[in-house]
């Protein structure tokens, strides 16, 4: 079925950290999102400790309140208890499309999603040299960058949107202690965004970071961590809505 409007409204929020006592915590927000947007993106740290109980509560909230397509990626918190596969299954059963190097087209817009990883940026990016544990850390960042590249390459749409948990650029983590920058994102996620001329990228993870930045190629990147959006817009729904004109590249 053809989407009946000339623009798509994409709502994005990350780091909701649904807890075992979170019944009803997000109902009002999810209802507002359904009214304001056509697609919902969830940028990782969906749960607090990666517990199945937390995922079940979130799934129930989403099923009850969200009437639009939902795409998500996992965050580091969702891996904490080693039950991330069960978390994915629970959310998938509730209709959430959890992306991990996958791509999907909705309403004529292409979406690619990965968790991402740390490692730092630019000249200070950690390199694969030395102890095996350092090499494995770097290899994980490389793998996530390659997964993002592959997912974007599979899309053939005027607009490509990237969703991740870790930051692809340092600009949107400014505000966090500089000492932890290498653990908040990886510059290896930036190059695919520029090469495939992504319309916009969303991430979370940096609760005290900066809302907006741009890649070296000019791609807008939005940090949509819930705590950051709450701080920027007190009293308003903590979600960012981006409008994409259909069929026209920005």
H or E segment to which residue 161 belongs: strand 160-163
Instruction: Give the whole-angstrom CA distance, residue 93 versus residue 191.
Output: 33
Mean pLDDT, residues 153-176: 97
How many separate domains does the chain show? 1
**What pLDDT does residue 2 have?**
55
Could you tell me if 14 and 42 are in contact, meaning their C-beta atoms sit under 8 angstroms apart? yes
Question: Quick one: pLDDT at residue 247?
Answer: 64
pLDDT tens digits, residue range 193-207?
Answer: 999 999 999 999 999
Residue 68 pLDDT class (50, 70, 90 cuts): very high
H or E stretch at 242: strand 240-245
pLDDT of residue 82: 97
What is the C-alpha separation between 192 and 1, in angstroms, rounded? 31
Q: Is residue 223 part of a domain?
A: yes
Q: Does some domain include residue 13?
A: yes
Rounded distance between C-alpha atoms, residue 173 and residue 19, angstroms: 25
Q: What is the pLDDT of residues 105-159, one digit of tens each?
A: 999 999 999 999 999 999 999 999 999 999 999 999 999 999 999 999 999 999 9
CATH number for the domain including 229?
3.60.21.10
Query: Which pLDDT band, with edges at 50, 70 and 90, does 24 fall under?
Result: confident
Tell me the two tokens of residue 31.
Answer: 């209802």
Asked, for residue 250, whether it belongs to a domain, the answer is no
Longest dimension (CA), the chain: 56
Q: Is residue 1 part of a domain?
A: no
User: Within a domain: residue 217?
Assistant: yes
Inside any domain, residue 47: yes
Domain of 54, in residue numbers: 7-245
Instruction: Please tell me the distance from the alpha carbon of residue 102 to that of residue 236, in angstroms, as a whole number.
Output: 32
Instruction: Please indicate, yes or no, if residue 101 is contained in any of the structural domains.
Output: yes
């Amino acid at each position: 079925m053809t989407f009946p409007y000339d623009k798509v409204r994409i709502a994005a929020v990350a780091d909701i950290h649904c807890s075992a006592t979170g019944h009803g915590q997000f109902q009002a927000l999810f209802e507002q999102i359904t009214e304001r947007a056509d697609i919902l993106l969830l940028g990782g740290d969906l749960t607090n400790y990666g517990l199945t109980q937390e995922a079940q509560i979130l799934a129930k909230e989403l099923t009850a309140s969200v009437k639009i397509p939902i795409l998500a990626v996992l965050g580091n918190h969702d891996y904490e208890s080693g039950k991330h596969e069960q978390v994915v299954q629970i959310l998938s059963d509730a209709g959430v499309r959890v992306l991990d190097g996958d791509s999907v087209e909705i309403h004529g817009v292409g979406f690619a999603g990965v968790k991402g990883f740390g490692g730092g940026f630019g000249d200070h990016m950690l390199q694969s040299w030395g102890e095996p544990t350092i090499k494995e850390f770097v290899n994980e960042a490389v793998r996530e960058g390659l997964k993002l590249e592959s997912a974007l390459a599979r899309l053939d749409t005027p607009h490509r949107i990237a969703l991740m948990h870790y930051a692809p650029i340092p600009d949107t983590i400014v505000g966090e202690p500089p000492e932890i920058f290498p653990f908040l994102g990886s510059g290896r996620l930036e190059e695919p965004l520029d090469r495939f001329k992504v319309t916009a990228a969303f991430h979370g993870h940096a609760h005290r970071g900066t809302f907006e930045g741009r890649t070296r190629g000019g791609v807008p990147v939005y940090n949509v961590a819930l705590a950051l959006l709450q701080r920027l817009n007190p009293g308003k729904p903590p979600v960012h809505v981006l409008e994409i004109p259909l069929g026209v590249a920005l």
